[in-house]
Amino acid sequence: MPSISRKMAVIAAIALVSACTPGEAEKPVASPGTEASGTVEFWHFFTDREAKAIDTIVADFKASHPKIDVVVKSGQDDTKMLQAIGAGQGPDIGLSYSTDTVGKFCASGAWLDLEQYIERDGVDLNKLPATVRSYTEFKGRRCAMPFLADTYGFYYNKALLPTPPRTLSELTETAKRLTKRKPDGTIERAGFLPLFGFYEHSPSHLGPAVGAKWLNDDGTSAIGSDPAWLELLEWQKELIDWYGYDKLEKFRASLGDEWSADNAFHKGQIAMMVDGEYRIAFLRDQAKDVKFGTAPLPVSDAHPDWYGGGYVTGNVIGVSKTAKNPEAAWELIRYLTTDTGAIVKLANLIKNVPSTTDALAAPGDLGNDPDFKVFLDIFAHPHTSTTPPSAVGPAYEEAFATYLQKYQAGKGGDPGPGLKDVDKQINQLVQLAG
């Protein structure tokens, strides 16, 4: 008898544990022409100046949609949002800062599939550039819409070089030429700081230079099998060896924080770097004396015709599985992501790249800014790429970055087997996530 009681207790405990986990929920879609109304809660991650810009756009929406009230909560992050959705307390609408979340949110169903709303309302997805379409869906499930974009290109100090390098070998040559060393050999100014992990010098942002591929169609890692990554690593290692890894690390340790006014590019401590379009606003605000230029990423010497592209990512927005008012939520999302006037206004307020072709064609003041125009062109370039959504979020980027920390320090061994090992780690994580 006691053993039966124990078994019953174990079964009851498992049942209790299972019962206290979330289940599926059905979301009906209203008939075409039904006017959405009611209150929706909108969580976003912006703060300060950018949060005010969101408030402005939401006020415009409320003026044109008087039956919908929007409660805006700023400064929210993805982890909190996922936890809230899991607990059944999520917002109606969530805005994420990273496309890394798309795979996770789509695969888990944390965000609703928007296909039925898109079809019902005749939203033309072809007005989104192909790259943007790719990072807002996962395995055919469109659970997100793009909410402006960040585009990464190349910054150079015009006082030191009049025109930017167009290929990786030109970048190497220019970096060496512009580097200044002190008498003891330590670096005083680096032409280009090639360490992965420095500011925005991540493999994601540099990968498009060689057309490197992250994932196979089945979601497994392609890092170890794509020779483009080896090309990038060999180029980077050659430049690191020229500087000396220890000297580079010492130099990096002396530089200011990326997001402060002490940013090394602001201070003239580095002559060139890879960064997002948002850096323009920082430079004009914090380093008025720096004469800078913007350009596409330098590309592989084997493919000079790829020049013009860069890396693109963006904010993504979706309707929570637990949304209390999904119709009104979709109405707000449709406004924020497809209304050209709203997108252009917001892009100009936040200084981000607009994410539809219509808005790109008439980007307002942003298009009159020659430095920003470079990023608009990068965004529309066919060789601009992104990091694909994965069921394990950014796991593939971070597993690779972890290996690269050791590799660039000369401790990673032969990159061939090293990258295969990275593949193995990523694939195991993909399997674990279900």
Partner 1 sequence: MTTLAQRRRRDRLTVLSFMAPVLLGLLVFLVYPLVASVYFSFTTFDLVNTPRWVGLRNWEHLLQDANVRTAAANTLWLVAVLVPARMLGALATGMLLARFKRGAGLYRTLFYLPALAPPVAATLAFVFLFKPGTGPVNSLLAEIGIQGPLWFNSPDWAKPSLVLLGLWGVGDLMIIFLAALLDVPKEQYEAASLDGANAAHQFRYVTLPNIAPVVLFAAVTGVIQTLQYFTQAAVAASVASGQATTGGGVSSTFGYPEGSTFTYPLWLYVVGFRYGALGYANTLAVVLFVVAAAVTVVLLRRFRSFL
Binding site for partner 1 (CB under 8 A): 13-14, 16-18, 20-24, 45, 79, 82-83, 85-86, 97-98, 100, 104, 107-110, 197-199, 202, 249-250, 252-259, 313, 321, 391-395, 397-398, 401-402, 405-406, 409, 411, 421, 425, 428-429, 431-434
Q: Show the tokens assigned to 209.
A: 């230079």
Q: What is the distance between the alpha carbons of residues 282 and 61, in angstroms, rounded to a whole number?
A: 29
**3-state class of 299 per DSSP?**
strand
Smallest gap from residue 420 Cβ to partner 1 (A): 13
Q: What is the distance between the alpha carbons of residues 235 and 241, in angstroms, rounded to a whole number?
A: 10
Smallest gap from residue 409 Cβ to partner 1 (A): 6
Smallest gap from residue 152 Cβ to partner 1 (A): 13
| Helix pair angle (415-432, 395-408), 10° resolution | 150
Smallest gap from residue 85 Cβ to partner 1 (A): 6
- E strands, 197-352, where? 270-276, 292-295, 311-319
CB atoms within 10 A of CB 73: 11
Half-sphere exposure of 176 (CA within 13 A, CB side): 13
- What pairing do the DSSP bridges indicate for beta strands 187-192 and 270-276? parallel
Q: Which of residues 46 and 306 has its CB atom nearest to partner 1 in the complex? A: 46
Q: Which of residues 167 and 313 has its CB atom nearest to partner 1 in the complex? A: 313
- What pairing do the DSSP bridges indicate for beta strands 292-295 and 311-319? unpaired
Cβ atoms of 292 and 156 closer than 8 Å:
yes
Q: Which of residues 50 and 121 has its CB atom nearest to partner 1 in the complex? A: 50
Q: Which of residues 36 and 85 has its CB atom nearest to partner 1 in the complex? A: 85
Q: Which of residues 55 and 398 has its CB atom nearest to partner 1 in the complex? A: 398
Q: What is the distance between the alpha carbons of residues 390 and 414, in angstroms, rounded to a whole number?
A: 27
Smallest gap from residue 401 Cβ to partner 1 (A): 6
Q: Which of residues 64 and 83 has its CB atom nearest to partner 1 in the complex? A: 83
Q: Which of residues 158 and 247 has its CB atom nearest to partner 1 in the complex? A: 247
Among 109, 154, 146, which residue's Cα sits nearest to residue 130? Answer: 146
> Backbone dihedral region of 20: left (phi > 0), alpha (psi from -120 to 50 degrees) or beta?
alpha
Smallest gap from residue 337 Cβ to partner 1 (A): 19
Tokens 């980077």 -> residue: 236
Smallest gap from residue 86 Cβ to partner 1 (A): 4
Smallest gap from residue 296 Cβ to partner 1 (A): 22
DSSP secondary structure string for all residues of 245-271? HHHHHHHHHTSPPTTSTT-TTTTTSEE
Q: Which of residues 354 and 418 has its CB atom nearest to partner 1 in the complex? A: 418
CB atoms within 10 A of CB 157: 19
